[in-house]
Amino acid sequence: MRKSKVIAVAGKGGTGKTAIAALLIHEIIRQEEDVCILAVDADADSNLPEVLGISYDKTVGDIRETLLEDKQRDVTLDIRAQFEGRIAEIIEEEDFYDLLVMGRPEGPGCYCPVNHIMRMILDTLTENYDYTIIDCEAGLEHLSRRTTKDVDVMLVVLDTTQKSIRTALRLQQIAEEIDVDVKRMMFIANKIPEGDETSVIAEAKRQGIGIEAIIPFDPLIPDYDLKGNPISDLPHDSPSVVGVKAVVARIV
Ligand SMILES: Nc1ncnc2c1ncn2[C@@H]1O[C@H](COP(=O)(O)OP(=O)(O)OP(=O)(O)O)[C@@H](O)[C@H]1O
Ligand SMILES: [Mg+2]
């Protein structure tokens, strides 16, 4: 039996969601033997594959589009069977984790039963893994369209900006309004310069956000970004890896 724990990483654009999702995947792999993770890039502007150093071919959005076209041609088409088969083809398999790229969200003229079937299949898929780690878009509204499953932990990433605090407050509110049950929210301050920890925690607290973890500014992350190096190559003692290790200790 797999643990089937769902961890979503959300927050304002540019706060470091993708970097943290990638670091999280590698840290869990380091800590747990024989673990099996599903990494989901739920950002329409996908960049988790790049940060993980993986290339991918097709997205769930691509499958949806071809399925809708095929269904128009043949109304008897078994959407469920077709989707199940095609999703297996687009999952990128790595050691200890698989990657699924969601791609473009459903458009306005969308055929709802197709989305419903897709959600059901994606939910079933997460049951085959110990952890599903979702790199979210900045908003949360899409989450209830992507999954019907509960989120065990939502990591909300902030940086040193007021804007990111405001987004975190809004996410807290949205999480209560959407259909998906978010069991636990954990606020993480990322890219924090040394010495600024206390003031960042105090400012967030003043506005009603309790920061539970700090991930320091790590010059190697932008450096790796620039060079296109995968984040898995970061030295294990680099500040961001050490910071994410503390997060993992609290959530798994
Ligand atoms: N701990 C860190 N230290 C230094 N730089 C960081 C850190 N975390 C992320 N970054 C840098 O911040 C930038 C944004 O990171 P990232 O792409 O992970 O954010 P994001 O929230 O996923 O953005 P988007 O909303 O665009 O998807 C990148 O240039 C990355 O290199
Ligand atoms: Mg991102």
Ligand 1 center to residue 164 CA distance, Å? 13
Residue 143: how many CA atoms within 13 Å on its side-chain side? 29
In this prediction, residue 144 carries a pLDDT of 57
**Ligand 1 atom nearest residue 20's Cα:** 18
- The fraction of the chain above a pLDDT of 90, given in percent, is 67
pLDDT band at 124, cuts 50/70/90?
confident
Instruction: Give residue 47's domain range.
Output: 5-251
Contact status, residue 126 vs residue 6, Cβ threshold 8 Å: yes
pLDDT tens track for 39-89: 999 888 899 999 999 999 999 889 988 988 898 899 999 988 998 899 999
Tokens representing 179 are: 């259909």
Q: How far is the CA of 21 from the centre of ligand 2 (A)?
A: 9
Q: Using alpha carbons, list the distances in angstroms from residue 112 to 41, 75, 145, 148, 173.
A: 22, 15, 10, 14, 26
Alpha carbon nearest to ligand 1 atom 7, residue: 191
Q: Which of 225, 238, 242 has the most ligand 1 atoms within 8 A of CB, as the residue to mutate?
A: 225
**How is residue 99 written in tokens?**
């990657």
User: Ligand 1 site: residues with CB under 6 angstroms?
Assistant: 13-19, 43, 138, 190-191, 215, 217-218, 221-222, 225, 240
Q: Whole-prediction pTM value?
A: 0.94
| The residue to which tokens 């939502």 are assigned | 154
Q: pLDDT band for position 142 (50/70/90)?
A: low
What is the CATH number for 91?
3.40.50.300
Domain count, the chain: 1
Q: What is the mean pLDDT of residues 192-217?
A: 97
CA 210 to chain centre: 21
Nearest CA to ligand 1 atom 14: 14
Where residue 108 falls among pLDDT bands split at 50, 70, 90?
low
Residue whose CA lies nearest to ligand 1 atom number 30: 222
